[in-house]
Every structure is written in C-alpha cells, then in structure tokens.
A and B are shown apart, each in its own frame.
Chain A
C-alpha cells in the first residue's frame, strides 16, 4: 500500500511538474491562432521527453552520477565547457521567465504590477531553496501544479465542438488566408522546445542523485516518466483546446497570462479562475526552483564542487552561491522591464537551438558500456533516440531563421 501511494504521488508530481511558463504560453498562443493544428507537435514532444528522461534516469540509477558530470568525463572539458556555457545561459533566462510567471500570477491575484513582486519572488525562491528539503519542494509544487487540471475540466464544460477540434488536429497546417506556413512552423518549434526544455533533463538526473536512486528505483522512475509526463502533456493539450474554443473563432491571439485564465473563468466562474491562478503560481514557482537548481547543478558538476540539497549549505557553499547569483541574474533580466511572456517566447526559440547540446551527450552516455554495463540502450531506445536527435537538429537549425522570417511569430 505504501509503495502504491509512493508511485501515485510520483506520478501526480510528474503531471503537475510537467507544465511550466513555456507550455502555458506556447500551447495557448498556438491554440488561439492555429486551433489544434499543433496537437501532433505536443505528442512528438512528449514522446521525445519520455525517451530521453528514461535514458537520463537509467544513467543516474546505474552510474549513481548525474548526466552533466558524465558529459565532462566522457566528452572532455572543452566540449563540456561549451555545453555548460550554452546550457547555463539558457537555463538562467528560463529561470527569469519562470520568475516572471510567478510575478504575473501574483499580479492577477492582487492587480499590483508584476515588477513590484519580483524582488519578493526572488527572496522567497532563494529561502525555499535554502531551507526546504528536496522532496518537500518537489511534492508541494508538483501537486500544486495539478490545479491546472481545471483546464481539462473546462474543455468539457465549454461548448467544445469536437468535430472542429478533430478537423483541425487531423489536418496540420495554417488556417487558410490568415496565417502562413513559416509562422506555423515557428510555433511548432516553440511547442516542441517547451516539451523538451533542457533544464528538465538536468533537474531530473540531478534529482535522481539527490534521492539516491539505484537500479532498484528504475521501475518507479519509468512509471513516473511514462505515465506522469504523458498526463502532463494532456494538460498542455487542454490549454491548447480551450484556447481553440475561446480565442480561435474570434481570430484573436494570446499575449498575456491573464488571457490564458479566461477559458476556465468562462467555464467555471470564480472557482475556475482561482484554480487557474493557483496552478500558474505553483507550476511557475516549481519550475523556477527546478531551473534555479539546474543552474547550480550544472556549474557545480562541471567544476567538481560538492553539490546538492542533501548537503548542508555550509558543505556546498559554492553550489549555493551559484544558485543565489543565478536568482539575482533572473531578477535583473526581469527588472529591465522586458515582458515575461516575450522573454518566454525568445527563451523557447533559443532552447530549440541548444537542444542538441543537451540530448546528444545523453544518447552517447546511454550507449557507453563503461558506465552502463548491461543497461546500455537497446535497439528500440537507440532508434527512438536517433530519430529524435534528427528532429532536435532540424528544430535547432530552423529556429532562428523562422524567428527572423516571421518576426518572432508576429
């Protein structure tokens, strides 16, 4: 019974933790402008993150070392340094976007401008990461993120025309006359990147070390990945469907977090709105913690410093310093007054460019018998991993040209 509870809790945490500011923005914007024509991209993205998260989990459970640590050892310090630089810059920008999401959720709740909240969000985030235990953080915010299930409920309460939803989903492409193919592909890249954001893998693998996974925990890890992530993907699909129902017929677009909350408000009134805002808060705060920790994990693992929440801060002073500096950088980015939604849009496109840096090394290490012994990738995992590597490369090459051609999806 206790084991079953543990599995359920793990799955629920994965579901709630899957959606972050990138998913909130990309799925809603795509739903408003293209209906469900990008639903297939969500499916492709979820399969990709499942394939690579499973590999990363297996690497951690077998080697008992995090992926970034192994990248440096396996690929050498120069390649790993390039990887670290790209990953760190991107993750710290993502941290800024997530903190902006938290501040925007507080703005919806209080009507005070989000900029007022940023110093407080930074402070609370740092205190939470300093004081609270890893499992507590993961569960509180993962479960809080489940409030986003309100979007799935709204799908059934709103007057959803399922034939239209299916029609759009089964004929990928831009609606005739109003949108273009480059814009369609620009959003496809953004949605794909939102499902495979690099920090997810760094956090997942480092979290596995924090929780001291062994090969015995592999089955639990697989259940969390193969059940939790697809259910999280369904939440992202719900965001897309409600935007299709409410915004797409009006030919309007989504450019603020407040707009994302309109469909559950229309469907369920104040309860729907309250749950949506709670979900935004928990999902973005949880993701801010994950990205903050990921920044510190990658730097500490590259330089071989003591790291992790399992150690007391005094034993991992440099790890906690990087964490604090990353939070300050995230705050500084937001205090330039850049719109957090725009920041998220740019973050997703630059994430797409950096995806190969994250996923190629995982595939290499998961095939290395020196680390993995008998648990190296099988044929299926390799075939899937290779196909996804090609998709990831295509997205990386196309991302910037599409951004320029479409004026960032305008």
Chain B
C-alpha cells in the first residue's frame, strides 16, 4: 500500500477511480432517477464537448474568469504590497476589506445586475471582486514579511523607495502572492459557476440548470464532472507554474483550505 502511495500521480488517479466506482455502485443500488450511474454520465461528456453551442458557453465562462482574474490580480497586488510596507495605507484599507471579506461576491450578483445588466460585465465584475480579496491579503502578508535588512542592503546600493517596492518587495513577496493567486483562482472558478447559476443566460452554470430543468440528468452529472475536471486542471496547471516561478524559495507548508 505504501509503495503504491509513493508513485507520483498515482494516488489521485486511484482516488478518482475509487470515487467513480463508488458512484457507479451507489447509483445502481439506489436506482433513483436523480442519480444516474457514473458510466451514463461519463458517456455524455464527449457529447457535450462535441456540441458547438456548449463549447461556446464553456469558452465564454472561461473567458470571463480569465479577464476577471487578470484584472483582479493586476489591481490587488500593488495595493497589497503598498499596504504591507506602509502602515497608513494598511490602516486605510483594512476595515473596508474586513467588511467586504465575508460577503460572498456572487451574492452581489442581483444588485450588480440591476446596475450593469445581465451581460458579461456584471459577471466579470463579481469575479474580479472575488479574486481581489485573497490576493490583496496574501500580497499584504508577503510584503509585511520582507526582511528589513534586504531592503536596507538595496538602499545602501542606491535604490530609491519605488524601485525597492518593485524590485525587492515584489520578488521577495512573490511566493506568498502566488499562494493568494491560487486561492483567487479557486474563488474565480467558484464565483463564476455560482454567478452563472444565479443569473443564467450563458455559461457552464446555465448549461447545468438548463439540463436540470429539462430533466436531462445524465447531462447534469456530466457537466459536474466537466466543471470538476476544469477545477482540477486549472489548479494543477497553476501549481506547476507557481513552483517554476518560485523555485528559489524555501519550501513552506500552505494550508489549502477550501473557500467559497
């Protein structure tokens, strides 16, 4: 058993297989309409992926997510860094952020829809809001933790304060910033799916509930598998990118806590 566990990549595959097997068995045992067997659901996956309209929906979702994520990161990192190095900037933003933090950004959908309509803008905005918070938080923490002596060494070499922020604080805080980005990515995916479930129109959430309404249960589960797969793939890709970017860093233990 331990030898099996040590082969890289094998345990997750086994876990997936185990989950699918449990699903299949449970579905056959319970034999209710609402829980089609895994095999039936998986059979639908190629059908969905081959359908141009569905693909368009998925692409639209991913596009919104990407835009929201990119804007969120571009906005949040500078703010977090400045908060980390200046107690006044931190004092300015902290209370505001603390209040916004527990609000599920997807819950803002109705009111944002009232103001911005049902198009891309409102969904992208919500994703943007969802991403900025963890990224600001981690950038803030990362910037705070930068060793003072490193900054002094740079100052002695003749670097000005702005240069120190971009050339010293930013790289030094990068490991922590990327942890925030990873959380932000997870949140972007969740916010995207949730906001689409709430507002419908287009996207994966829409496909999901359309099939639900039309009692195409196989499709519903197939979509869930696709979304799950998307989440896993995005996270794995980001993790690979992250470890490359910060291969110079000492290893740290991140508590990957699920977030909404």
Please determine whether chains A and B interact with each other in the same assembly: no
Interface of B toward A, CB cutoff 8 Å: none
Chain A interfacial positions (CB closer than 8 Å to B): none
